[in-house]
Amino acid sequence: VTGASFVVFNGALKTSSGFLAKSSIVEDGLMVQITRETMESLRQALRDKEDFKITCGEMDARDVKECVDICWVENEEKTNTG
């Protein structure tokens, strides 16, 4: 689990790169590089207020991959204080 001050979603990852998605820590935030198709799905999930999971790593990797989970909570006041 990584806490971050901000998250950047970059929809310019090419499918030919061999990656499902890439995540990296940038200063005190998180940058997630995703394909255009994943970006469209993410936008729709945000509009619909649905949870969304982005699996990061190489397409052909057999080991455990990193995941970026976007989760909606019922009471934002308790989780986003300050």
Type and span of the H or E element at 38: helix 36-47
Say if pTM beats, i.e. exceeds, 0.85: no
Note whether residue 75 is domain-resident: no
Residue 12 lies in a domain: yes
Q: Is 70 exposed, middle or buried (0-12, 13-18, 19+ CB in 10 A)?
A: middle
Residues 6+ apart with CB under 8 A from 75: none
In a domain, 61, yes or no: yes
Split into its structural domains, the chain has a count of 1
Would the pLDDT of 56 be above 60? yes
Q: How far is CA 27 from the centre of its chain?
A: 17
Does some domain include residue 79?
no
Contact 46, 52 (CB under 8 A): yes
Q: In this model, does residue 65 exceed pLDDT 70? A: yes
For residue 38, is it within any domain?
yes
Please check whether residue 78 lies inside any domain of the structure: no
The whole domain housing 62 covers 6-70
**Average pLDDT, rounded, for the chain:** 87
